[in-house]
Every structure is written in structure tokens, then in C-alpha cells.
Structure 1
Amino acid sequence: MDRDDELGDEPEELGAEACLRLLSTVPVGRVVYTEHALPAVLPVSFEVVPDGRLLLAVRRDSATARGLDGTVVAFQADRLDPLTRSGWSVLVHGRADILRDPEQILGALRSGLRPWTDEPDPMFVAVVPELISGRRLSASAHPVPHA
């Protein structure tokens, strides 16, 4: 028996547009990048902009900012309910670049996008999605009991 059978219903594969719509409903995701030749994962604030790019808010002069600029990254976000064993998960792969255009930076600041840490001068990173995949799992007929 595989893991999907244990969970009940088969996961629904989601198209790119549905994935981007779902991403726009959560404020935090995880970016996967390389730091000192090792994989690194960091939760980041983000938003989906109208052209489909993801804007990530990071601390200026951080290892994360340096590790993201001009590299290929993975980004993942989800919304899961452990009681009903339902929810969705989206994975994006794409190139990340630090925003340098003053108008785009101003737009990100106006939107309220900020890193989770107290950062008076945040840096914004744009991820251009090249591969987008996602899955949705409907509520199980057998919810998990409270512990």
C-alpha cells in the first residue's frame, strides 16, 4: 500500500494557474537555495504579482539574499489541515534575481511585503516560475483523532 492509499482519496494534480491562485492565499512559503554548497531552506514572506512572478522579502545583506541572486531556486508553500488530512501544496522552480528597479522596489514596499524579522530596509527577490506543480488532497473520510 502506498502513502496516497493510506490517506484516502487520490491527490488532484493542479495546473499552473490554480497553483498561482492558491499561492496568493498564503503569506509565507519556503525558499530552497544553495548556501556554502549545501541545500538551505528558509521561510520567507512573499506575494504573487500580477505578471505571475513571486516576490520574496528578505533581510538586506543576509546570506539568503546573496544565495538567491541569479540562481535557480525552489519555492514551496502549502495549506494543510491535519485533522481532515486535506489541503494543498505548490512547488515552483525558477530563477531568482534581486530587484534593482526603483519603481518595482517601491511597489513592493507599498504592498506591505516585509521580511518576518524586523528589517527597516528589506531586499526583494523576484522568482520567475519556470516549472509549477501542485497537488490538492480532499478531506479524508477518516479524520485523525485529537491527541
Structure 2
Amino acid sequence: MYANDGFRELDRSECLRLLARAPVGRIVYTRQTLPAVLPIDFALDGEAVVVRSFAASQLVRAIDGAVVAFEADDVDATACSGWRVVVTGLAKTVTEQAEHERLLGAGSRSWVPWPEQVFVRIATELVTGRELVGGRHACGPTRRAQGASV
């Protein structure tokens, strides 16, 4: 990172604090030997990312026992500000009944009422984040201002 590139590296505790308030993230995993990205609601349980899905989902089958990345961000394009956090770690389906019951009450609130709900815990083995600092002067001209079509 260049000292004047407009970004500030976030430490682990800052990253986890920001993740705790993000409503949606994206899970990055391998599907049929290719990278796949899926937006998903989630919750933090301690330092672990927990996602809720249904037992027969392709996502659960693809990520259980695999190393995945999970990313969340908050960007204000008008103010040219925001942050991004990436978690990389092993994803494991929660199989212990008592833990499953606890997460039903405290875990992520699924936007879709899945039958046979399961939880997948993503260990926060590697946590990185960056925050855009400097506001509008750090952004430069926008694509629209330069005449580019959207």
C-alpha cells in the first residue's frame, strides 16, 4: 500500500466491529472448479461469521469443509467514503444440536424462511480491511462527469 493512496488499513478489531453492523455480505467459494460469489445475510457469533441456509442447498454442499472468503462493505459513492472487510477461513456446518438451537435464537435472521435450516460457521482465520479516507478530494472526477455512460 502506498502511504498516500487514500486508504487506511483496518486492524482486526475495527474489521469485526464494522462487520457486526453490516446487514449483507458476499461469500466467495468454488462452484464446479470456478469462483462463485453470492450475496447473503449473516451474523457474527463471537468472531465467527455465521450464515443460515437450508440443508439441501448447493451453497452448503459447496462450502462445508472448504476455505472460503467472506466480504462486506459500506460505500457512499456520493461522499467517496466507505470501508471493505474480507474474512478468509474454513467453513463448517454446525452439526451439534445444542449449538444449532442457540443459533436459531441468536444467529442471522434469514430473509427467506428455509425448511430444514442449517448454520455454517466461517472461522475468521484471516481478517483484512481498508477504509477510504480523504473524502471527495480523494475520488477524482466521476465516470459520469467524464461523459462515460453507465
Same fold (TM over 0.5): yes
Which of 66, 70, 76 is residue 75 of structure 1 equivalent to? 70
**1:135 and 2:138 aligned:** no
- Runs of 5+ unmatched residues, structure 1: none
Please state if 1:40 is matched with 2:36: yes
Q: Give the structure 1 partner of residue 11 of structure 2.
A: 15
Runs of 4+ in 1 over 4 A off after TM superposition: 142-145
Measured after TM superposition, the shift of residue 113 of structure 1 is 2.0
Q: Which moved more, 1:69-78 or 1:35-44?
A: 35-44
Give the counterpart of 2:26 among 19, 24, 30.
30
Secondary structure of residue in 2 paired with 1:103 = helix
Q: 1:133 to 1:95 in 2, by over 3 A?
A: same
Unmatched segments (≥5 aa) in structure 2: 145-150
Contact 2:28 2:68 in 1 (8 A): yes
Equivalent residue pairs, number: 140
TM-score (norm 2): 0.83
Identical aligned pairs, as a percentage? 38
C-alpha root-mean-square deviation of aligned residues, in Å? Answer: 2.2
Over residues 17-52 of structure 1, what are the superposed CA-to-partner deviations in whole Å (9 max), with x where a residue is unaligned? Answer: 1101100001210001111111111111111112x1
| Comparing 119-128 and 73-82, the one that deviates more | 119-128
Mean Cα deviation higher: 55-64 or 73-82: 55-64
Aligned to 2:57: 62
Aligned-pair CA distance for 1:115:
3.2
